[in-house]
Amino acid sequence: MRNAGLIGLFLGCYPLLAWGPEGHILVAHIAETQLTPAVRARVAEILGPGKTMESISSWADQIRGQRRETGPWHYIDIPIDKPHLDMARDCPKGECVIAKIEQFAVVLKDPASTADQRREALMFIIHFVGDMHQPLHCSDNNDHGGNETRVVFANRPGNLHSLWDGRLLQGMGTEEALFAKLEREAEHHRKWGKGTVRKWAEESHKAAQKVVYGKLPKAPKTLPSTTATASSALPPAPPVTVDSAYERKADPLIAMQIEKAGLRLASLLNATLQ
């Protein structure tokens, strides 16, 4: 599992998030358009006055500093060299994004839940369904979900996780233009709303295998140091330069994952709150 302290310090300024606020707003906005009228009204009632799915879509990130126990809830570490999810291996304590979505769906549906419990459960679900569609939140290559794989993109250093969280998305156009495009496509891809949370996680994992890591350019080779000793630590791997060919593979996947997240969030809420 990931060391939150290490990740928070890695490269100084790249937190473990998914999509960033823009991506989560897109997911929530797409989902809202696919809710039934009755469920849309129920969501508004649960959230309360002045709050929308879009406005609270990053709430789960905003409270992580005060509620550190929620950190592991945002992801699941499915090893990149494994073909399938194994909950006993990948989420042994139930502290992962899949288990928490399932748990909060139960809270949301339970008539005995208090208004506060139901509101919090809904806010977590809205965020976590978006999180799990960022492929690096469902995979790990012994690099803390890409946080320890150094990259250079557009002449700026960073890491693979931050690249997929927002840096690639920010180059894909304005939020308004992206929403208009994704909303149009969502009408043709409603079948993506089917399935289970666990199947969705496996799908994100396969996307990481095939594209996130599979299409990543190779890091340049480093020559062994002539002054190195047997006991000295190995130098860090050199950064990978992310080129336009990788970006062309990544951009359609990011758009598709955000669209799927929106449709699946709507499907989950329609089934839970009907």
Residue 7 falls inside a structural domain: no
Which domain CATH number covers 52? 1.10.575.10
Residue 228 falls inside a structural domain: no
Residue 159 falls inside a structural domain: yes
What are the per-10-residue average pLDDT scores of the chain (274 residues)?
A: 37 49 92 96 97 97 96 97 97 97 98 98 98 97 94 94 88 70 68 93 98 92 57 72 94 93 96 95
Residue 5 falls inside a structural domain: no
> Closest Cα partner for 139 from 82, 196, 92, 101?
82
pTM: 0.86
Q: Which residue has the tokens 């002449």?
A: 155
Helices (H), 65-191: 87-90, 97-109, 115-132, 160-162, 168-170, 175-186
Instruction: Provide the pLDDT for residue 226.
Output: 53
Instruction: Provide the pLDDT for residue 134.
Output: 96
Q: Which domain holds residue 204?
A: 16-218+239-273
Helices (H), the chain: 4-9, 20-34, 37-47, 59-62, 87-90, 97-109, 115-132, 160-162, 168-170, 175-186, 197-207, 244-273
Residue 163 falls inside a structural domain: yes
> Closest Cα partner for 172 from 267, 266, 253, 112?
253
Instruction: Provide the pLDDT for residue 232.
Output: 55
Instruction: Provide the pLDDT for residue 169.
Output: 84
Residue 264 falls inside a structural domain: yes
Q: How many domains does the chain have?
A: 1
Residue 156 falls inside a structural domain: yes
Residue 4 falls inside a structural domain: no
Instruction: Provide the pLDDT for residue 229.
Output: 54
C-beta of residue 253 within 8 angstroms of C-beta of residue 21:
no
